[in-house]
Amino acid sequence: MAEDEKTPETEVAGAAGDDATESPEAGVTAATPEAAETAEAAPEAEAAEKAQDDAAEPAAPPAPAETRRDRLEARRASRRPAQRGEVTPEQRDAERQARRAETAKQRRAYRAKLKQRRAAEPKDTPVREPDHAAEHGPGRARERQGVVTSAKGDKTITVKIDVVQRHRRYHKILRSTQKLYAHDEANTAGEGDTVRVVECRPMSRSKRWRLTEVLEHAK
């Protein structure tokens, strides 16, 4: 009897519980503001955690720049012929003969072009004279004029030649003396005479000149 009896308060409470159980929309509506705040805070928290992880992790080293040596190695590797298998001596000899034939062909073509070029040149091209003094030309002996300083030796005279020239840069007058040994076959020149000598074949260890004319006798 006591269990079946219900007080008004109990009935009100039971009714309220039944309403809460039967209407889930009311509970959802009451919990909506907190869920919205949690949903808005979740992306911010994830972004903050990601920033912390990025700061904690060390930065990856940059890729090394390609150096000149790497470029050269790549170029050489591209120029290398493809690896072949084993080559027999007959194949190697055939390749050598082919290379020689190609080289000979190029040489013949070059010589033919050179021959045509020479044939097209004019025949009356003047020959350029060498840039040297006339006395030093081929087949022309040098001549000197000087004074005899000694005629004591047999068929040999000593000739002194005074040389006066100007310095190329400083334009100063430079004076020097040369001593020549000349061959006098008839012993005609005496000491103090002015003579002319010409270059000739070596007649002794020191004689390379020969007397040609006595210009003036000593007084």
Q: What is the pLDDT of residue 41?
A: 59
Q: Is residue 130 scored above 70 in pLDDT?
A: no
CA distance 129 to 138: 12
What is the DSSP code (8-state) at residue 62?
P
Q: Residues 164-186: what's their mean pLDDT?
A: 94
Q: What average pLDDT does the chain have?
A: 78
CA distance 84 to 138: 64
Q: Residues 96-120: what's their mean pLDDT?
A: 93
Alpha helices in 65-181 (DSSP H): 68-79, 89-120
Q: Is residue 112 scored above 50 in pLDDT?
A: yes
What is the DSSP code (8-state) at residue 188?
-
Q: Which of 180, 121, 186, 119 is nearest to 148 (CA)?
A: 180
Contact predicate 186/210, CB 8 Å: no
Q: What is the pLDDT of residue 24?
A: 44
Contact predicate 155/185, CB 8 Å: yes
Q: What percent of the chain has pLDDT over 90?
A: 46
Q: Is residue 22 scored above 50 in pLDDT?
A: no
Q: What is the pLDDT of residue 141?
A: 87
Q: What percent of the chain has pLDDT over 70?
A: 63
Q: What is the pLDDT of residues 28-82, one digit of tens each?
A: 444 455 555 565 656 666 777 776 666 555 555 666 667 888 888 888 888 776 6
Contact predicate 147/160, CB 8 Å: yes
Q: What H or E segment, with its residue span, contains residue 36?
A: helix 24-56
Q: Residues 108-114: what's their mean pLDDT?
A: 95
Q: Which residue has the higher pLDDT, 65 or 162?
A: 162
Q: Is residue 207 scored above 50 in pLDDT?
A: yes
Q: Which of 161, 162, 214, 204 is nearest to 183 (CA)?
A: 204
Q: What H or E segment, with its residue span, contains residue 28?
A: helix 24-56
CA distance 198 to 145: 9
Beta-carbon count within 10 A of 144 CB: 17
Helices (H) and strands (E) in the chain, counts: 4, 5
Q: Is residue 127 scored above 60 in pLDDT?
A: no
Q: Which two tokens stand for residue 197?
A: 């000598």
Structural domains of the chain in order of their starting residue, each with its CATH number: 139-216 (2.40.50.140)
Contact predicate 175/194, CB 8 Å: no
Give the SS3 label for residue 87.
coil
Give per-residue burial for 18-29: e unless 16+ CB within 10 Å, then b.
Answer: eeeeeeeeeeee
Q: Which of 115, 176, 116, 189 is nearest to 147 (CA)?
A: 189
Average the pLDDT over each of 7-16, 19-28, 91-100, 150-159 and give the range with the smallest value: 19-28
Q: What is the pLDDT of residue 23?
A: 45
Q: Residues 146-172: what's their mean pLDDT?
A: 94
Q: What is the pLDDT of residue 143?
A: 93
